[in-house]
Amino acid sequence: MSASAYADYNPLDPAVRENPYPWYTYLRDEAPVKFIESLGAWAVSRHEDVRKLLLDHAQFSSDPLIRIAFGDFNPAPDARYLLSSDPPDHTRLRTLVNKAFSRRYILELRDEIAATAARLLSDLDGRDEYDFIAEFAAPLPVTVVGNILGVEPSMHAAFRRWSNNVTAGGNADALSEQQRAVIRSDANDFREYFLARINTVRKKPEDNLISALVHAEETGQKLSADEVLALSVLLLIAGNETTTNLLSNAMVTLAQFGDEEKLARSERSLIPALIDESLRFQSPVQLLFRRATANTEIAGQKLPQDAIVMPIFASANRDERAFSTPERVDIRRTDLRNQLAFGWGIHLCLGKALANLEGEVALNALFDRYARVEINTPQIEWCDAFYLRGPKNLPVRVHRA
Ligand code: HEM
């Protein structure tokens, strides 16, 4: 197909969701800042521009994000969310949550994550064919985040359902009245459950993140119950489907680039680089949004105040101006530090260390147990959410080591 066949980029088009990368190449080369009618937003596709935009939180506010993600189904409508706040609120919230979610605390979770991964795989011991997502890539992160937050294991399945339904609410136009009623009731359950937990740990502290958030204090300031609710909801949602997609996208990538898998299997210290490279190549969060706080410009394109701007992380991550041979997966590449799958600047993913650890532990567990994980479908169906990327399901056939 000629390059101009990709001139009409529309992320809502199923053909784009199937394989967005030729459209991204067109945008970077021909229209690096382009207005996208279907979303009413300006797509920003080059690495340099995406990075600058993410660093400039004064001119580009994060305030549209929660409305876009939840639509009318926000479980904590009265609270400021970390993800969609700007300084000084963002600074206050991030300082408090950083205290409770420190890198040291995350690294201590390695054994617990390894035990969860081993249990999930042991439960599959009699089976050579299964859905990698339903059996492994989805339950692993929900169990990990559920345990971190201090949610009873019996609630984890309900959690996953809630978080999937509440995020599907962001695409409200596509929903029937009945679906809307279910999502509204789920958002309400979410809210009631967390507020009750917050109340309990306020009276009697526990050894979990909800309790740490309730009791975290910075220069005399604490988080309100609504802010703890918003953070709990955000951690659950931000850490769930993204990490599921990290794991399943890594499987798809390895099936395509077998030599890189061989290399990582023979040199396990390369697994973190393999995770990073897979995140660059198939970024689970493809794009997000910002709002221009004043008349401004990006790469010479003038933008009016309140323009909605859409940094495409996944396009930046395939930009030949920032990465050599970006269409190739190369776990020894030296330019990986440029990858933007976790964002950049003040909103850099809070769960980066956790997601990387889950990925590393999961791949080690899979490599230990299986000599090969074969993708058992001729055609992968990609998820419907236009800003995320990951298979809807992933049938695999495993070959034991
Ligand atoms: C591979 C998995 C993940 C990917 C690709 C990912 C991606 C991202 C991206 C791109 C952002 C930046 C948003 C922006 O600039 O507007 C972000 C922020 C965030 N992520 Fe993640 N994430 C992942 C896993 C997690 C996990 C496991 C958690 C926690 C359990 C988490 C929690 C958050 C939070 C709380 C923010 C907001 C930070 C802020 O606004 O200061 N993420 N993530």
**Residue bearing tokens 């300031």:** 221
Distance 366 CA to ligand 1 centre (A): 25
Chain centroid offset of residue 60 CA: 21
CA 89 to CA 87: how far, in whole Å?
Answer: 5
CA 281 to CA 12: how far, in whole Å?
Answer: 21
In degrees and rounded to multiples of 5, residue 177 shows phi and psi of -60, -40
**Residue nearest to ligand 1 atom 12, measured at CA:** 343
Distance 289 CA to ligand 1 centre (A): 14
Distance 351 CA to ligand 1 centre (A): 6
pLDDT of residue 93: 92
pLDDT of residue 61: 98
pLDDT (tens digit, 0 to 9) for every residue of the chain, 401 residues total?
676 789 899 999 999 999 999 999 999 999 999 999 999 999 999 999 999 999 999 999 999 888 777 777 788 888 889 999 999 999 999 998 988 888 888 999 999 999 999 999 999 999 999 999 999 999 999 999 999 999 888 888 888 777 777 766 666 666 788 888 888 888 888 889 999 999 999 999 999 999 999 988 776 778 888 899 999 888 888 888 899 999 999 999 999 999 999 999 999 999 999 999 999 999 999 999 999 999 999 999 999 999 999 999 999 999 999 999 999 999 999 999 999 999 999 999 999 999 999 999 999 999 999 999 999 999 999 988 889 999 999 999 999 98
Element (H, E) at 370: strand 370-375
Contacts of residue 36, Cβ cutoff 8 Å, sequence gap at least 6? 9, 10, 11, 42, 43, 310
Question: Counting atoms of ligand 1 from 1, which one is nearest the CA of 145?
Answer: 30
pTM of the model: 0.94
Contact 292, 304 (CB under 8 A): yes
pLDDT of residue 179: 81
pLDDT of residue 66: 83
pLDDT of residue 168: 66
95-to-99, 150, 202, 288, 384 alpha-carbon distances in Å: 6, 21, 20, 23, 34
The residues spanned by each domain of the chain are 3-400
Question: Counting atoms of ligand 1 from 1, which one is nearest the CA of 82?
Answer: 40
In degrees and rounded to multiples of 5, residue 122 shows phi and psi of -60, -40
Contact 322, 47 (CB under 8 A): yes
Three-point CA angle 52, 58, 77, nearest 5°: 110
The two three-digit tokens of residue 309, written as one number: 């701007």
**Residue nearest to ligand 1 atom 32, measured at CA:** 351
CATH class for the region spanning 3-400: mainly alpha
**Residue nearest to ligand 1 atom 3, measured at CA:** 242
pLDDT of residue 172: 62
Question: Counting atoms of ligand 1 from 1, which one is nearest the CA of 94?
Answer: 41
Contact 73, 187 (CB under 8 A): yes
Which residues' Cβ are closer than 6 Å to ligand 1? Answer: 54, 62, 65, 82-83, 94, 145, 234-235, 238-239, 242-243, 246, 284-285, 288, 313, 341-343, 347, 349-351, 354-355
Distance 341 CA to ligand 1 centre (A): 9
Which of 97, 249, 312, 349 maximizes ligand 1 atoms within 8 Å of its Cβ, making it the mutation to test the pocket? 349
Helix, strand, or coil (residue 45): coil
Distance 343 CA to ligand 1 centre (A): 8
Distance 7 CA to ligand 1 centre (A): 30
**Residue nearest to ligand 1 atom 31, measured at CA:** 351
pLDDT of residue 261: 97
Which of 53, 89, 242 maximizes ligand 1 atoms within 8 Å of its Cβ, making it the mutation to test the pocket? 242
pLDDT of residue 105: 87
In degrees and rounded to multiples of 5, residue 243 shows phi and psi of -75, -35
Distance 243 CA to ligand 1 centre (A): 10
pLDDT of residue 322: 97
Helix, strand, or coil (residue 382): strand
pLDDT of residue 169: 60
